[in-house]
Amino acid sequence: MAQDTETRIPLDDLLVFHRLARSLTSSFDLDTILRTILDHMERLIDAELWALLMVDERRQELYYAIAAGGEETALRDLRVKIGEGVAGWVAQQGETLIVPESVNDPRLESSPPSQVRKVRSVVALPLRGRTATLGVIEILNPRAGQLNDYTIAFLHILADHAAIAIENANDVARIQQLTIADDTTGLFNVRHLYYMLGRELERSSRLRLPLSLAFIDLDRFKNVNDEHGHLIGSELLAKAADRLQQLSRPNDLCFRYGGDEFVILMPDTDAADALTQARTLLSRLMATRFEMKTGLRLQVSASIGLSTAPQDGSTIHTVIGVADTRMYAVKTSGRGQVRGA
C-alpha cells in the first residue's frame, strides 16, 4: 500500500476554524465582530500591537477601529491616507504585506503606529469585500518565529471570514437605516420619532432631566410647489432638511414629521435653552439661500412651537401635541417666529 503523504489539517485546528466561523457569523453588530477579530488575532500571534483599521470611503482614509497592545488611546485619532504607509498600501493594492525585521521598508516609517512606538516588522492583510477593500488587519512587531506559512494561512482565513461578517453587518445596518429614514430628506422618519421620543421620555423621567421638542412647519411651502413645480419643491425640502440638521446641536435628533413639517428632539434641554436654540436656528435657516440645480435661489421661513417635558407633559402624544398647538399659534399670528411656554 502506498504511503499516504497528503497533508491533513489537525482536528484541533479544524475546530478552531469552526469556532472562528461561528463566532464571526453569530452577530450583526459591527463592534462585536471587530472585537472577535481582535481576540482571534491576539490568540494566534504573540505581538506588541494588534489593530484593525476600517476604510472611510468618503474621506478615502483608514481609521483605527479597534486595537490592543497598550496604544489604543494614542491610535484612536490617527488617520491613514489610502496608499500611504503599510495599511494604506494594503488597502489600495488589496494585497497582503509582510515586512520582517531584516528588511528596511520605508512604509514602516510612514505608518502612524511609528509615532507611538518603533515599528520593526509588520504583517498586514486586506479585508476584501465583494467590490472593495473594507479594512486592514495590522500586526506590529510579532515575536520572532511567528511568521510561518501555517500562521499566515490562518490569518488569511481569519481575514476572509472577517470580511464576510463585516459586509453582512453593513448590509443589515443599511436595511435598518432604510426602515427609519425618510426617502426625500434622509432625516429620521416619524416612526423613529415615536420610538426615540418614548425612549428619551423614559430616560428624562428616570434621570430627572428636561427634554424639549421643536415642531417646525415651513411657511407657505405650497407656494413653492405651485410656482416652481414639485421637483423644485422636493429639492428645496431636502436642502432645508439638511440645513436643519446642520444647525442642530450634536446631541439633537432631527425628524421629518410629514409634508413640510419637521421635529427636532433636544435631550437634556430645558424650556429656556430650547427657546434660545430654536430662535438661533430659525434666524440662520431664514438667512440661508438655497441654490437649486436649475440655478434658482430660494429662501424659506418657518413657524416653530416648543414643548418641554415634564412641565408640558410626560407622554409622547402630549409632548408632540403641545408643540404642535404652539406652532399653529405662530401660524395664526404672523409666521416666522418661535413660541414656547
Mean pLDDT within 179-198: 90
Residue 89 lies in a domain: yes
Element (H, E) at 139: strand 133-142
Residues 26 and 112 in one domain: yes
Residues 39 and 111 in one domain: yes
- Give 85-118 pLDDT, tens digit per residue: 899 999 999 999 988 876 778 787 777 777 666 7
Residue 2 lies in a domain: no
Residue 5 lies in a domain: no
- Give 127-161 pLDDT, tens digit per residue: 998 888 999 999 888 887 777 787 888 888 888 88
Domain count of the fold of the chain: 2
pLDDT at 242 over 70: yes
Residues 34 and 118 in one domain: yes
Question: Range of 294's domain?
Answer: 190-339
Res 2: pLDDT = 45
Residues in CB range of 158: below 8 A, 6 or more apart: 20, 37, 40, 41, 44, 137
Residue 184 lies in a domain: no
Rounded Cα distance, 172 and 28, in Å = 7
Assign 3-state DSSP to the chain and report helix, strand, coil percentages, each to 5.
45, 25, 30
- Could you give the dihedral angle defined by the CA atoms of residues 191, 195, 198 and 203, in that order, rounded to the nearest 10 degrees? -150
Q: Say what percent of the chain tops pLDDT 90.
A: 52
Domain finish residue from 154, 178, 202 = 178
Residues 146 and 232 in one domain: no
* Cell numbers found for residue 28: 450583526
Residue 52 lies in a domain: yes
